[in-house]
């Protein structure tokens, strides 16, 4: 496939026939005192671009299911039901011309919607999948992992002088309280983890690893029952 401009900047005759369409999916939600609301979207878009796929890169879907963060001003969540509908209708429309559709997800709260929407698209005959931007062993939210990624990808957006630690209890132990109280009830700073020690160099390594995993997954194109690209 001949590489083409991003979908947002392309004109229709430039699009190849039946391309892979890659769509970053993020959120608008608080990320502590030091990271911007767009963090998840920025990371998803950076991973999608860094993978260097033979694909058309769509504008990011910037709103997701972030109800657990609604205790903080600025968070905008459309919820799982609305996001599911959005993904299904997006896929139905895009797959009129795209041969395959891949959603690169930057926010864990979007998983329920992806696990509903993508299998439905597949049962309808559309070759859709999703890929998680998860870092094995990384902290949960606005800690060292995400801070390092942002320091590499968009350093001017990081308020390093305002960073403060959050709750460092393993996320599995926090889940019951998070479901009952939301993030603010568990961590008044909004951070689940500790940004101390974050660096642009670490972020570069993390991004390179995520991009390599995405490239390998696309090359295999092995889709699990829940729509995840393995």
Domain ranges within the chain, ordered by starting residue: 18-220
Q: Given strand 56-57, what is the order of strands in its sheet?
A: 56-57, 20-25, 100-105, 128-132
Residues with Cβ within 8 Å of 83's Cβ and at least 6 positions away in sequence, in order, are 63, 64, 65, 110, 113, 117
Predicted confidence at residue 206, as pLDDT, reads 98
Predicted confidence at residue 183, as pLDDT, reads 97
Predicted confidence at residue 215, as pLDDT, reads 98
Predicted confidence at residue 171, as pLDDT, reads 86
- For residue range 120-178, list pLDDT tens digits in order: 999 999 999 999 999 998 989 999 999 999 999 999 999 999 999 999 999 889 999 99
Predicted confidence at residue 3, as pLDDT, reads 54
Contact between 21 and 7 (Cβ < 8 Å): yes
Predicted confidence at residue 4, as pLDDT, reads 53
How far apart are alpha carbons 192 and 206 in whole angstroms? 19
Contact between 58 and 5 (Cβ < 8 Å): no
Residues of the chain with pLDDT under 70: 1-5
Predicted confidence at residue 1, as pLDDT, reads 39
Q: Which residue, 141, 96, 102, is CA-closest to 23?
A: 102
Residue 127 phi/psi, 5-degree rounding, is -85, 80
Class of domain 18-220: alpha beta
| Structural tokens at position 32 | 């502590």
Predicted confidence at residue 2, as pLDDT, reads 43
């Amino acid at each position: 496939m001949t590489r083409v401009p991003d979908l947002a900047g392309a004109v229709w005759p430039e699009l190849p026939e039946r391309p892979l369409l890659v769509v970053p999916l993020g959120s608008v939600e608080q990320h502590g005192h030091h990271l911007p609301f767009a963090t998840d979207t920025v990371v998803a878009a950076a991973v999608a671009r860094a993978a260097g796929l033979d694909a058309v890169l769509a504008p990011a879907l910037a709103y997701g299911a972030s109800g657990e963060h609604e205790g903080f001003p600025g968070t905008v969540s459309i919820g799982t039901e609305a996001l599911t509908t959005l993904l299904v209708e997006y896929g139905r429309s895009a797959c009129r011309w795209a041969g395959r559709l891949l959603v690169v997800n930057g926010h864990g709260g979007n998983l329920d919607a992806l696990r509903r929407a993508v299998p439905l698209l597949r049962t309808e005959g559309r070759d859709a999948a999703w890929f998680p931007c998860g870092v094995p062993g990384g902290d949960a939210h606005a800690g060292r992992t995400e801070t390092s990624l942002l320091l590499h990808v968009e350093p001017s957006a990081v308020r390093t002088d305002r960073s403060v630690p959050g709750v460092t209890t393993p996320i599995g132990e926090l889940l019951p309280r998070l479901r009952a109280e939301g993030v603010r009830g568990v961590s008044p700073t909004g951070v689940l983890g500790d940004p101390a020690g974050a660096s642009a160099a670490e972020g570069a390594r993390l991004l390179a690893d995520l991009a390599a995993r995405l490239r390998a997954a696309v090359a295999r194109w092995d889709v699990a029952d829940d729509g995840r690209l393995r």
